[in-house]
Amino acid sequence: MRLVFSGATLIDGRGGRPIANAEVVVEADRIMAVGSAGELPDQGDARFINLTGKYLLPGFINAHDHLTTKRLRGSRTDRASADDALMVARGIQNALVNLREGVTTVRDAGAPRGLSLSLKSAITSSDIVAPLILAAAQGLTETAGYAHEIFVEVDTPLEAKKATGVMIKRGADFIKCMASIEWGHAEGEPLSTVNMDVATMRAAFDLAHHHSRRCMAHALCDEAIANAVEAGADTIEHGVFLSAATAKNMSKRGVGLVPTLSGYKELRNDWGRGQGIMRQSAKLVEHHKVGFRNALDAGVTLAFGSDSLGNLMDECSTMQEWGMTPMQCIEAITRNAAILLGIDDRVGIIAAGRTADLVVLDSDPISNIAALGEVELVVKSGRLIDPARLPIKFPGGAVLSTAPGE
């Protein structure tokens, strides 16, 4: 059936002036037409959905999450030791929590044993209405390097190339390298330093690009960020210590940043990972603001990512607090994220021919960024989703299943 969303103020994700009293025509999973009321041809027996007084935006995009281990307590080893089936089930739950927030596309940035691929398969092969999942499978790291408990250890360009090929054969959508390693568990230890060298990362990224896969790099210290850019990364994840000079180089090369601000802010709290991690995270947040501002000033494309502990509202609030306008925040969760993930021909803006991923808000997010948390309706590939009927996830990992009475 053809649907017509009418009467809303349209914020299409491209950063331009909102369109009052707009109409968006959807058929099956596609946007067919967009315009002001009265501009479009008569839609005959289409179903009209009156959104007068509401705000219509593109579906949000989370460019960095860890769905199978999201908001789990304990060390990395503890979090990786859960049963595979349980982790995939948690991943589905967390995907639905994303959908409740208006997120219709998620890039999973890596999981133990590559379980993000199992999660993606479980969702795509079923009738579950969930965000589109793009999966990085497992990251690459040095032997005993950062996140070695859950990722693949490689020490030479040849090993990196072989591991990348295996992940591509398994169906990975992205290839990830751990360019930096973070300690800071004890006073006096460095907060971040180089983990993987340029040659090893380049071997992985070159093969990935040959197979039309985009590449991401976990990188906090400025040297590791510069190394990852030199090696061919398409996006830098976190970028805490990003210098002005490296930010300018990223902008020149078209390398984007997914800062995951809210994740590091939340990690200052007790998640069963030790006082050292809490102390480290508090220090990282102090530096993160400077790195973020350097990226913003250099014109680096910035996108939203929650990481395993953050969320969309905290991320956007922090982005605004640290210098972005509300419209820039909206672009970060829509078009910018789509560009960095290489899917801007499908999602990220509201335009004819794009996938019908939409979010209806109760009030104006440009006047008040908190309105991004007032999601009234989600449209995923043309299917109407009432967010009140989706899971609510609490900080300790508990879940309230659905709306009252169910």
pLDDT digits (tens, 9 = 90+) for 280-329: 899 999 999 999 999 999 999 999 999 999 999 999 999 999 999 999 99
Residues carrying CATH 2.30.40.10, the chain: 2-58+348-386
Task: Flag whether pLDDT at 391 surpasses 80.
Answer: no
Q: Where does 60-341 sit in CATH, by number?
A: 3.20.20.140
> What would the pLDDT profile of 342-388 be if each residue is shown by its tens digit?
999 999 999 999 999 999 999 999 999 999 999 999 999 999 999 99
pLDDT for 42 equals 83
Considering the chain, what percentage of its residues have pLDDT values greater than 90? 84
Q: What is the sign, positive or negative, of the torsion defined by CA atoms of 254, 255, 260, 265?
A: negative
Rounded-to-integer distance, Cα 377 and Cα 395, Å:
24
pLDDT level of residue 405 (50, 70, 90 thresholds): very low
Does an H or E element contain 159, and which?
helix 157-170
Q: How far apart are CA 212 and CA 331, in angstroms?
A: 25
pLDDT for 49-64, tens place per residue? 999 999 999 999 999 9
d(Cα 248, Cα 245) in Å, to the nearest integer? 5
- pLDDT band of residue 184 (cuts 50, 70, 90) is low
User: How many helices (H) and strands (E) are present in the chain, helices listed first?
Assistant: 12, 21
- Round the average pLDDT of the chain to a whole number and report it: 93
Encode pLDDT of 150-161 as tens digits: 999 999 999 999
| CATH code 3.20.20.140 region(s) in the chain | 60-341
Note the pLDDT of residue 44.
84
Each residue's pLDDT tens digit, 123-142 = 999 888 999 999 999 999 99
Q: What is the pLDDT of residues 194-223, one digit of tens each?
A: 999 999 999 999 999 999 999 999 999 999
As a whole number, mean pLDDT of residues 78-85 equals: 85
pTM of the complete model? 0.94
Contact predicate 123/94, CB 8 Å? no
- Going by pLDDT thresholds of 50, 70 and 90, the confidence category of residue 74 is confident
User: What's the pLDDT at 397?
Assistant: 44
AA identity, residue 297: D
CATH of domain 2-58+348-386: 2.30.40.10
CB 352: neighbour CB atoms within 10 A? 12
Question: 393 pLDDT band (50/70/90 cuts)?
Answer: low
DSSP sequence for 50-112: E-TT-EEEEPEEEEEE-TTTTT--S-HHHHHTS-HHHHHHHHHHHHHHHHHTTEEEEEE---G
- First-residue to last-residue Cα distance in the chain: 28
Torsion angle, alpha carbons of 344, 207, 222, 147, to 10: 100
